[in-house]
Amino acid sequence: MRFLAKDLTTAARDKKDTEIEVSGWVHRIRDMGGITFVVLRDRSGLAQLVFDQKPEDSGGALTLESVICASGCATLNEKAPGGAELRVKSFKTLSKAAPDLPYQVNADILKMGLETILDNRLLSLRNPKVQAIFKVQATIAAAFAEALRKQDFTEIKSSKLVGSGTEGGTELFTVEYFDRKVCLAQSPQFYKEVMVASGLERVFEIAPVYRAEKHDTPRHLNEYVSLDVEMGFIESEKDLIELEKNVLAHIFEEVAQKNPGELEMWNARVPDSGAVANAPTVPYDESLRIANGEAAKTRGAGASSRIFDMNPEAERLICEWAKREHGIDLVFVNEFPRRYRPFYTYPLDKGEEGTAVSTMSFDCLFRGLEITSGGRRHHDYNAFVETLPRFGIKSEEMPGYCALLKYGCPPHGGFAIGLERLTEKILGLSSVKEASLFPRDRKRVEP
């Protein structure tokens, strides 16, 4: 019967003299002359195997990354990882790895450059610390869905082939679609609104989205997983902020509970789920004042360079302020000026002559990085058609949106969290690319 590495200690206690079997990858080999220690890796972790002789198969010496199956008796040993080891009686090689490994799987990945890690993706994904990222990511996605299902949200899967974009025309990938060109979806924005209007009222989607952004930065991917939410019958973005706090608190709670080992590997801590409720909501203008105040403190009061928009420096400074003043580096910035938000965003009338200058929108910043954008949307057909020219759009160019709003659509809104960005910030990674299994950037489309 196959035992997992993590169960070796139990086996050593319960099955002392019975032979058991473990299988996995050869992670490390230490030849001590008389005996050889082999560290075996399986989905549960690492286990120490002790061979009385040099482990050899019909093809010669055992090689790193070969897949083997070993049987023997488990015994307690304080010095072994996990407190037990397998004294091997026999083993067989199930798949022999070639000896010319181009990447050292068992190395400390903090000592490897990101490019090397990504260039050797097939092998770097075998590193336990790299795998930890994706175990945590799986928990995040599951907890996101669970928190929403509990509140009567229905999961949807919308098409990623679309006729036009929703988040701005310059960031679209086009693809051949029979005799015409279509685009890869930048967001399920339109479809999630359609499903609210269809009567489902509350929907969410977990799916990849595509952004043809040319810049290569630690915060941008050209394909990322969007955790999307849309909800009917809301009053303002504040309802959405409450919902997101609830979702994030559940995610943090689940990660703390399901991934203590993974968090430890990365020396990471999730915020206390109870503290999420204390995350402040700061209007956009006020947040820039805070950011400038924080910048002046570090640069000196007379510093001349001002922060004029929510750039990465402002995001970092506001989170530092929130950590100090509210005990959590999580902030919601709302009421963004209209020029920064897409055409579908609901106005917040504050300006003279009834012209909206700001919107019922928000971003969520976590540990110095924007992880979420959202807001209330237009639901009134006439107001929507009136606003389009301000974005240089003709209503004829938006037949879908016009039809959606023309035939009965409740007040609604939603948000989207970037899965890789949230993973990156939970674990303290150096780049969003580290949190993507097979990152797509300007030069990377393989593997």
Residue closer to ligand AMO by CB (options 297, 442) is 442
Nearest to 244 by CA among 93, 363, 390: 363
DSSP state letters, 183-246:
EE-S-SHHHHHHHIIIII-EEEEEEEEE-------TT--SEEEEEEEEEES-SSHHHHHHHHHH
Residue closer to ligand AMO by CB (options 411, 418) is 418
Lookup: tokens for 224 = 């990322």
Taking the complex as a whole, the smallest distance from the CB of residue 219 to ligand AMO amounts, in Å, to 7
Taking the complex as a whole, the smallest distance from the CB of residue 368 to ligand AMO amounts, in Å, to 13
Q: Does 19 bind ligand AMO (CB under 6 A)?
A: no
Residue closer to ligand AMO by CB (options 218, 283) is 218
289 in helix, strand or coil?
helix
Give the integer Cα–Cα distance in Å for 223 and 245. Answer: 26
The answer to whether the bond into 447 is cis (omega within 30° of 0) is yes
Distances (CA, A) of 262 to 137, 143, 254: 11, 16, 13
Residue closer to ligand AMO by CB (options 221, 282) is 221
What is the DSSP code (8-state) at residue 358?
E
Query: Residue type at 426?
Result: I
Residue closer to ligand AMO by CB (options 271, 414) is 414
By rule CB under 6 A, what string of x and - marks binding of each residue 152-171 to ligand AMO? Answer: ---------------x----
Owner of token pair 């009222």: 201
Q: Does 379 bind ligand AMO (CB under 6 A)?
A: no
Residue 270 has a CB neighbour count (10 Å cut-off) of 21
- The count of residues in the chain is 447
Give the integer Cα–Cα distance in Å for 70 and 96. Answer: 14
Lookup: tokens for 264 = 């430890």
Q: Does 205 bind ligand AMO (CB under 6 A)?
A: no
Q: Does 372 bind ligand AMO (CB under 6 A)?
A: yes
Among 23, 139, 292, 373, binds ligand AMO (CB under 6 A): 373
Residue closer to ligand AMO by CB (options 84, 241) is 241
Residue closer to ligand AMO by CB (options 263, 419) is 419
Considering only the stretches 75-83, 120-128, 251-259, 416-424, report the one whose residues sit in contact with ligand AMO under the rule CB under 6 A: 416-424
Give the integer Cα–Cα distance in Å for 29 and 295. Answer: 51
Considering only the stretches 216-224, 253-261, 289-297, 400-408, report the one whose residues sit in contact with ligand AMO under the rule CB under 6 A: 216-224
Q: Does 190 bind ligand AMO (CB under 6 A)?
A: no
> Which residues are CB-contacts of 29 (< 8 A; sequence separation ≥ 6)?
36, 37, 38, 39, 55, 62, 64
Among 148, 379, 415, 423, binds ligand AMO (CB under 6 A): 415
Phi-psi region of 111 (alpha: psi -120 to 50; beta: other; left: phi over 0): alpha
Q: Does 249 bind ligand AMO (CB under 6 A)?
A: no
Residue closer to ligand AMO by CB (options 211, 245) is 211
Among 41, 202, 220, 367, binds ligand AMO (CB under 6 A): 220
Among 12, 147, 184, 221, binds ligand AMO (CB under 6 A): 221
- Taking the C-alpha atoms of 378, 382, 387 and 392 in order, what is their torsion angle to the nearest 10 degrees? 110
Residue closer to ligand AMO by CB (options 284, 415) is 415
Taking the complex as a whole, the smallest distance from the CB of residue 359 to ligand AMO amounts, in Å, to 11
Among 55, 271, 414, 439, binds ligand AMO (CB under 6 A): 414
Q: Does 421 bind ligand AMO (CB under 6 A)?
A: yes
Taking the complex as a whole, the smallest distance from the CB of residue 401 to ligand AMO amounts, in Å, to 13
| Contact footprint for ligand AMO (CB under 6 A) | 167, 187, 189, 211, 213, 220-221, 224, 226, 370-375, 414-418, 420-421, 432
